[in-house]
Amino acid sequence: MDLSPSNNNLESPLNPESEMDDNNVEEGFQDEIITNDHEEEDPTTTVHDQADATAASESWFNPQQMSAMLSNFSTSYNVVNISLVLPILQSLHSASQQAVASTGSSLLAGMMLGQIGGGMLGDTFLGALGALRLVMVLQIVASIGSACTNVQDAGFYVHLATWRFILGIGAGGVYPLAAVLSAEQGKDQQQQDSHHHHHHDSDAEQLGKQIHRVVLTFSTQGLGFVTVPILAVILFEVTDDLNFIWRFLLGFGCIPGLVLMLLQCKMYRQEHHNHDPVPLSEEHDEGEIANHNDDEEHDVTTGVQEDATLEEPEEDGTQEAHGLSALFHEPGLGKKIIGTAGTWFLFDIVFYGNTIFQPIVMEAAFGSDSNGKSEVEELSSTARKSLMLTSIALPGYFFAAMVMGKKTLCVTQTPRYVMMQGFAAMAILYTTIGMNWSYLRHYPAVLISLYGMTFFFANYGPNTTTFILPSLLYAPEHRSTWNGISAACGKLGALAGASLFAPAAAELGDNVVMLLCAGLSVFALLLTSCFVPKV
């Protein structure tokens, strides 16, 4: 349209044709203004969408974080529920001590395999989340299979041990995958934000968020541990049917996995909805066409960044092609593996050994449960005592979550420093108990308090930090694999502790076992000081 003023219009301002032309000009300008305003809303909408996505990724309870927490809760529950189930089964179905011990330790053997295998799967195309879904399916199936085992079958304990071994593979796989998923979730969104020049946190702040996410995930282990005796106490109050109680305790282990799968389905639907292509309008007015050139110029700039981003997976694929050679090229690998796997091995000897040792301490403090009590009352009493000890130890998880990464008493509570505090406190407590064993037996409240505090500082210190450190120390390309290997070394120590503590107590005495725990804690403290890098 020619917008230059004509002489006729100037000479005849009241000319109807002139008024129509002026109106058309004004309407044209209004259309262009409306079109431009409409087009300027798109970048704003995009910025808001990115801000919402960033907020979601940084939320402590986003779907990925919830998946890691649920899986860790499921694992801890399924690991410890057998401690209350085995006494019930022994009262219903007699078996040799070897069969009972094999049933109890079969899960630990499966966990070692699952930790290594799950860690390696997390570094493949599946990623941590895809591999986590796979191992959780194993937990669901094995939990149901364990609960449905026929107690009248001659090979009952063999069948149950087989299901527990499969359950251990699924439970072990969660260890490296949940830690890595918590540490790395939101990473892609942060990288995207940096490309769009949004504000992003410093490296120290990002590390602090990583630590808190992993600690939050690990704290659900304590909830899983305490859920077992809580359910047992409730069930013993409701029914005397021991067959129902042990099946319920084992079968409940599938519930967290089923909830996780529902959460994953919800995540899939949301992602599918967010990535649906937006249909373009078939009608383009002149204003949209005029502004299209500006969009193309912007795409030229962003296209270079997108192409560079697309090349990154090709580099990762090249690294994966190196296989084991790339795995062992981790900088400072020897020092790191001693710091993570060595300390985890020593800690689990003490931690799981004392889990087996609990009945001995309880009997020393309160006497035998078999004095004048029925079978159900005796089992119920065992569940109550287990709940008491677990309740003393539980705050250690949450205390670690509160102080980890923060400055208290002029000292920053790094994972390494918290681990050293835990081992030092454990050494002092075990020494105190061991040197005063015969005296403390006459003061049950003091003995149980001191013994419960060993679990408190274990959960506050090395139990939490051995889970955290591998997800922070190793390179992202093989982080999941080395995390799994470190965890497997821990379970090797758990097998050693569970197998050796009872014979050592019978041969050397209960007080000597406590002093051995103190010595192992001191050795682990030295390893931490010398080989765990400062994070």
Tell me which architecture the domain covering 65-272+331-531 has in CATH: Up-down Bundle (1.20)
Per-residue tokens: 218: 């690990």
Separation of alpha carbons 215 and 466, rounded Å: 11
Res. 534 pLDDT band, cuts 50 70 90: confident
Evaluate if residue 20 carries a pLDDT over 70: no
Is the Cβ–Cβ distance between 260 and 70 less than 8 Å? yes
Please give the single-letter amino acid code of residue 373.
K
Give the pLDDT confidence of 397-432 residue by residue, as tens digits: 999 988 888 888 778 889 999 999 999 999 999 999
Mean pLDDT of the chain: 80
Flag whether pLDDT at 115 surpasses 90: yes
Give the CB-side neighbour count of residue 446, counting CA atoms within 13 A. 10
| Structure-block tokens of residue 378 | 């005796």
Q: Has residue 25 got a pLDDT over 80?
A: no
Is pLDDT at 31 greater than 60 in this prediction? no
Q: For residues 324 and 315, give the distance between their C-alpha atoms in angstroms, rounded to a whole number.
A: 17
Please compute the mean of the pLDDT values over residues 434-454 and round it to a whole number: 92
Q: Position 185: which residue type?
A: Q
Please give the C-alpha separations between residue 10 and each of 107, 152, 331, in angstroms, as whole numbers.
Answer: 96, 108, 83
Q: How confident is the model at residue 187, as a pLDDT? A: 54
Least confidently predicted of 105-119, 129-143, 202-216: 202-216
pLDDT at position 202 is 65
- Nearest CA to 101 out of 115, 113, 90 is that of 90
pLDDT computed for residue 60 by the predictor: 58
Q: Check pLDDT > 90 for residue 491.
A: yes
Share of the chain above pLDDT 90, in %: 45
Per the model's pLDDT, the better-predicted residue between 49 and 225 turns out to be: 225
Show me where the domains of the chain are located. 65-272+331-531
pLDDT category at 466 given cuts 50, 70, 90 is very high
- 362-366 long-range contacts, CB within 8 A, separation 24+: 362/389, 362/448, 364/437, 364/441, 364/447, 364/510, 365/441, 365/444, 365/447, 365/448, 366/444
Least confident of 54-63, 388-397, 497-506: 54-63
CA–CA–CA angle 45, 209, 346 (5° rounding):
150
Q: How far apart (Å, rounded) are the C-alpha atoms in residues 49 and 196? A: 13
CA angle 422, 425, 429 (to 5 degrees): 135
Better pLDDT: 505 or 110: 110
Under 8 Å between Cβ of 177 and 214: no
Q: Encoding tokens for residue 48? A: 């808001």
Compute the average pLDDT of residues 360-373: 74
Give residue-wise pLDDT tens across range 135-193.
Answer: 999 999 999 999 999 877 778 999 999 999 999 999 999 999 999 998 887 554 444 44
Q: 2: pLDDT confidence band, cut at 50, 70 and 90?
A: very low
* Predicted pLDDT at 199: 45
Pick the residue with more confidence: 95 or 200? Answer: 95
- The segment with the largest mean pLDDT, out of 9-13, 257-261, 401-405, is 257-261
Q: What confidence tier does 322 reach under pLDDT thresholds 50, 70, 90?
A: low
pLDDT at 116 over 90: yes
Between 476 and 74, whose confidence is greater? 74
pLDDT in tens, 284-321: 444 444 454 454 444 444 444 444 443 444 444 444 44
Share of the chain above pLDDT 70, in %: 74
Segment 1-13 mean pLDDT:
44
Segment 353-369 mean pLDDT: 77
